[in-house]
Amino acid sequence: MMIKAQVASLRLFLLFCTTLALPAADGSFAPYAAIRPILQAQPNGLPAVLRNAGEAQWLAWARQEDKAIRARLAQGDLDTLVNFLLYGVSFTKQPRILMEHLTEASKAGVLRARVDDLVSGLRNPGDNERLLFLQQLLRTQGIDPVAGDPAQTGRFLLNNLLRVVEERRALAERANNAQRVHNAPLDRSSLFQDRGLSLDTSIIPAFSIEQTLRDLKSRGLLREGQVTRVAVIGPGLDFIDKNEDSAFDYYPPQTLQPFALYDSLLRLGLAKAGSLSLSIFDISPRVIGHVQRARERAAKNIGYVLQLPRDIAASWPPDLVAYWRSLGEQIGAAVAPIAPPAIFHDLETRAVRVRPEVVLACQPLDLNIVLERRTSPRADSSDSGFDLIIGTNIFVYYDAFRQALALANAGAMLKPGGFLLSNDRLPDSDGSSMRLAGVTVVPFEAPGVSVRQAVGWYRK
């Protein structure tokens, strides 16, 4: 038994060394020759500097735009701070506040109490990872929550909340107007094109992707064992979600979608264990650093634990409940979950420890999908492209021109016949190698709930 354990550890160590020794796969700006057809096809939707632009103007704009997109991460973090203020339980014993009940909570003093408790938590965060991050975030806004005036911190929190309330009202009106114009399930247009880039994540996109993969397999568009290389764009980090029934902060921040996708591909037989590599494309240093630290622990034979709470008061359809119960079975083993606070009396919990070799198969890469594409170390190889790229709740943050750029960059990284799966409709462009080949509609039918999620298949 000891010899077998030593051999297993050696294999894991060699796998880690091999993955770290791979040639650097850096993202680089899309070449002008590849982007020129998009510039020519959208003369009226271009930034002024790109009208009649050449290669030098394109590269100069791309560098500036990359900085602008990355700057939106801070705004997204400030949006998440509001979710934490309203729903967090790690810094207060006050009841959580629904956005629609904000006025009543303010009159009852609950909002003020939550603000005061968060100010106190920020002054004395202990080992609370979320509070420690928010300390840094506030310092970038000129607020020192430790040495500064507590009243100033409290005012900032309230003003940030008021900003988000106004933005949500404007977004709700925009969404209503868009729905009157576009009624297809995939059409969300560029609803969030002027919002911050948040890292919110939940189980719903992962479920929709599994249902889509099942659909593609049943149609014969994906075959048994076909998938060997996949990528996930912007998988997010579970800091705290914007929806109350999936907003939790009693366990450490985690990323879910890469591991859920790996799990789905094995469950559906589309990939084989040990033969799947998964790239994670993100512009957030927090996501990239989080995954890299997980890989470092995996090299020491330490798995990655996913906490999977479920609010049983929420109306989930049976298929989603079944998915939740099976999530992680292909990539790890069940472990005891972290016990939630008493406030979550309607919470069912489970946890899975993901195997180290699965964690090591997931490689993070700083890549801005709007502007960059992966420079493959094996560009002349027949297997140099991805079989699948997943991008959920990503492209809705960009206008049609930037969506077209992102679609072209995804296409450049796919194998012929490969798919980009997204829950947003992306614009067709002349000369593009990518077309919308179909849509999988995932119904969410439960007592009192009847909605649809749609995932489009963009095929090269």
Of the chain, the end-to-end C-alpha distance in Å amounts to 48
* Calpha distance 350→359 (Å, rounded): 19
Q: What residues contact residue 404 under an 8 Å CB cut-off, 6+ apart?
A: 38, 41, 42, 426, 427, 429, 432
Q: Under a CB-based contact definition with an 8 Å cutoff, are residues 160 and 141 in contact?
A: no
346 pLDDT tier (thresholds 50, 70, 90): confident
- What is the tens place of the pLDDT at every residue in 6-24? 334 434 433 444 344 333 4
Q: Above 60 in pLDDT, residue 61?
A: yes
355 has pLDDT over 50 = yes
Q: Three-state SS for 230?
A: strand
Residue spans of beta strands (DSSP E) within 30-187: none
Here the tokens at position 281 are 């494309």
- Superfamily of domain 203-459, CATH level 4: Vaccinia Virus protein VP39 (3.40.50.150)
Number of H helices, E strands in the chain: 13, 12
Which pTM was predicted? 0.89
**Residues with Cβ within 8 Å of residue 7, at least 6 apart in sequence:** none
Residue predicted with more confidence, 132 or 242: 132
Q: What is the pLDDT of residue 40?
A: 87
pLDDT at 375 over 80: no
CA distances from 457 to 248, 388, 432, 446 (A): 31, 10, 15, 26
Give me the phi and psi of 33, to 5 degrees please.
-60, -35
Domain ranges of the chain: 90-181, 203-459
CB 17 within 8 A of CB 411: no
Least confident residue range of 130-144, 169-183, 267-281: 169-183
Is there a contact between 157 and 117 (Cβ–Cβ < 8 Å)? no
